[in-house]
Amino acid sequence: MATSFKTLLGSDIQNNATKLHEAIPITGTIISGTYNDSTANNLNIKNYPHGMFESVYDYPYLSSSANHIFDITAGFSGTSVLSGTATTQNAQKIQIYQQMAQVLCGHNANGEILPFDVSGNFSIPPQDSAKDAASKMDAVLFMNFARLLNKDEMQKGTFYINLGVSPSASVAAIAGKSAREQIVVKDVSGSDNYKVNSPAGEYNILYVTSSGPSGCVAPHLINQPCGLIFYQAGIAVLTSSLFKVSNPAGDNRGLLDPAVTGTVSWPNGLIFEAPNSARNKNIDQVMTGSYISSSADGLRNRIQDIYFANTTELNSTIYFCRANSNEFNFSSNPTYLTASKMRVKEVQADNPVSYITTIGLYGASNEMLAVAKVSEPLKKTPANEFTLRVRLDY
């Protein structure tokens, strides 16, 4: 226990924040079929009796080695054309939409939950505002990434997802036409143009950025907004319109254009059912006539790959502990003395000598709060000085 203390001045204490990034590539093979059993069941995809979402793992989920990657779910607003008494899990789909919207979009002054909007304008539009109404996403798919991967937040501007948009939901068809029928949904300008009007933190708009050389996306639809990415929450929101043919009205209710696929005919948009089903329903039919997990299956089997970089913010306080020439030349250790004489001095005229091995940081009441050890003892005499840098990370 020290018997003398030196007060640290304001100039001796500095705070610092460092952001560490880690690349997170997620391949589509893990998501859609690497771990299958003899009956083609995905051993790393966990479904639940309630059917409200499904969880994706990087290994069969019953294994202790499995890590949770993300969850997929879907929902629509109560004003959506998909909502109705005949819709399967209608109440649950509305509840999921409202739950996610109130967390990510917030409420207006009247306490109403604000809907998702591909323009980033979270508001309830007036009834006669067709433009504002068209930008609202009233039916969406959610990807909620695990904190294990997301860490403190996604690094802005790094997220993209490569989606197969073959007219068939068959894995083989999607893989076989990867050059012709893929689109890339990307966080284009997140590094310098993100938005802050969300109660969940910072977010940005996702855009369709590219496709194959003769892909399904018409040239004029490149750079169309199609979703949102929330960095701190680690949630990607995709509009269901991403899997519909383009709408004659020219709004974003359907983003894909079948005209550029040549002989391919899409009378009802993309087939969105999972490969092990009858594969004859488009996304609206799946969202109205099936459990939420079926919509999750449809999205999961179209994912080619996902990439983003996470961010870990390392906060540090740096203490500069200065031992000047006339300080800390003696030790308070009882073994430093023998018969009231310093062990390290041969004759009385010799300079005192001590060895610095430990730095203690004390509170206002002289209670020890932290201890730092030097790699090897430092010889301290009146002829030298030391400035020792102690960093506390948290």
Q: Residue ranges per domain, the chain?
A: 19-312, 324-393
Please tell me the distance from the alpha carbon of residue 151 to that of residue 231, in angstroms, as a whole number: 10
What's the average model confidence in pLDDT over 233-252?
A: 77
Dihedral of the alpha carbons of 368, 370, 372, 378, in degrees to the nearest 10: -30
Sort 207 into a burial class: Cβ within 10 Å, 0-12 / 13-18 / 19+: buried
The rounded distance, in Å, linking the Cα atoms of 92 and 87 is: 10
Q: What is the pLDDT of residues 222-241, one digit of tens each?
A: 788 999 999 999 999 999 98
Residue found under tokens 């080695």: 65
> What is the per-residue pLDDT for 268?
55
3-state secondary structure of 300: helix
How far is residue 92's CA from residue 81's CA, in Å, rounded to a whole number?
A: 16
The confidence score (pLDDT) of residue 1 equals: 47
Region 98-106: mean pLDDT is 96
E strand or H helix at 193, and its extent? helix 190-193
Opening angle at CA 261, ends 257 and 265, nearest 5? 85
- Residue ranges with strand state E in the chain: 13-27, 45-47, 54-57, 68-76, 116-117, 136-137, 139-145, 153-154, 160-164, 182-187, 195-198, 201-211, 225-230, 235-239, 303-323, 337-338, 341-342, 354-362, 368-380, 386-393
Residue 101 pLDDT greater than 90, yes or no: yes
Of all residues in the chain, what percent carry a pLDDT higher than 70?
79
Residue 393 to residue 371: CA distance in whole angstroms: 13
Mean pLDDT of the chain: 83
The pLDDT-based confidence of 251 (bands split at 50, 70, 90) is very low
pLDDT of residue 69: 96
Q: What is the DSSP string of 224-268?
A: -EEEEEETTTTEEEEEGGGGSBPPTT-STT--B-GGGGTT---BT
Task: pLDDT band for 263, please (50, 70, 90 cuts).
Answer: very low
The secondary structure element, H or E, covering residue 149 is helix 147-150
Residue 262 has pLDDT above 50, yes or no: no
Reported residue count of the chain is: 394
How many secondary structure helices (H) and strands (E) does the chain include?
8, 20
